[in-house]
Structure 1
Amino acid sequence: MDPVAAATSLHRALEAGESGSALRRHFTADAVTVERPNLIKPNGARTPLAEMLANSEKGVGLLASQKYDVHSALVSGDTAILRLTWTGVLRDGRQLVAHIAQFVDTRNGLISAVETFDCYEPF
């Protein structure tokens, strides 16, 4: 699977409400996510796979839905570079929107790292 297909496959799974171990099929065993500082995580974060999967289950409890709109995507070697907008609707109906630059590294068709720069619109 090419890097853009790997990234968008993960996005579609998240939109469909998949979480926890169901998402493991998208990642290498040593996968990490690096979140650069943003409104929700002012100090950023580095999250290993087990914690990513656990966080995805928490997200399902908070979100009624989420959507990833990819505006552009480039491939450089085994990395997908995406410009996208994420829209999350909370269970109480409030909406969160983030404009994102995302770098998705792959290995053997699986995601090995995600580095994300999330610019949230005011809450």
Structure 2
Amino acid sequence: MVVDMDTIHALHRALEAGQSGEELRRFFTADAVTVEHPNLIRPTGARTPLDKMLTASAAGVELLSSQKYDVHSTLSSGDTTIVRLTWTGVLRTGNQLVAHIAQFVETRDGLISSIETFDCYEPF
């Protein structure tokens, strides 16, 4: 099965629109997980199941006044799509965070089953 890029783009647009928590569940399989490799925000990395992802997204909305996902390129093979993007988040304080990201997104039955992410943050 080939990855449905519409699902990945729809998730990014939903996040940009400020959706969080249960509003995002529709994009994921029940057993979805995010694997975040060590970065400036999470120095030890993390493996996060869906329920905790949704909770964290709600907390993130409280910190950010806006966020934007600029996708530069994608490459799909089977059920996996590699997405190269730049994420820009504006904190409610007005400070801006920028991360250059490579994501490995796996899907099953048209839903995201895992996201493995390498986030390279610019200095804050």
Note whether the superposition's TM-score is higher than 0.5.
yes
The CA deviation at 1:5 is 1.9
The CA deviation at 1:9 is 1.1
Task: Check the 8 A contact 1:63/1:91 in 2, yes or no.
Answer: yes
Mind listing any 5+ residue stretches in structure 1 that lack a counterpart? none
How many residue pairs match? The answer is 123
Mind listing any 5+ residue stretches in structure 2 that lack a counterpart? none
Q: Distance in 1 between matches of 2:3 and 2:76?
A: 8
The reply to whether residue 95 of structure 1 matches residue 96 of structure 2 is: yes
Residue 112 of structure 1 aligns to a residue in which SS? strand
The reply to whether residue 7 of structure 1 matches residue 18 of structure 2 is: no
Q: CA-atom RMSD, angstroms? A: 1.0
> TM-score, normalised to structure 2's length?
0.97
Q: Runs (4+) of structure 1 moved beyond 6 Å?
A: none
Q: Distance in 2 between matches of 1:113 and 1:76?
A: 15
Provide the residue aligned with 2:65 in structure 1: 64
> TM-score, normalised to structure 1's length?
0.97
The CA deviation at 1:4 is 2.2
Task: Check the 8 A contact 1:14/1:66 in 2, yes or no.
Answer: yes
Residue 66 of structure 1 aligns to a residue in which SS? strand
**Partner amino acid for 1:110?**
L
Q: Distance in 1 between matches of 2:10 and 2:116?
A: 17
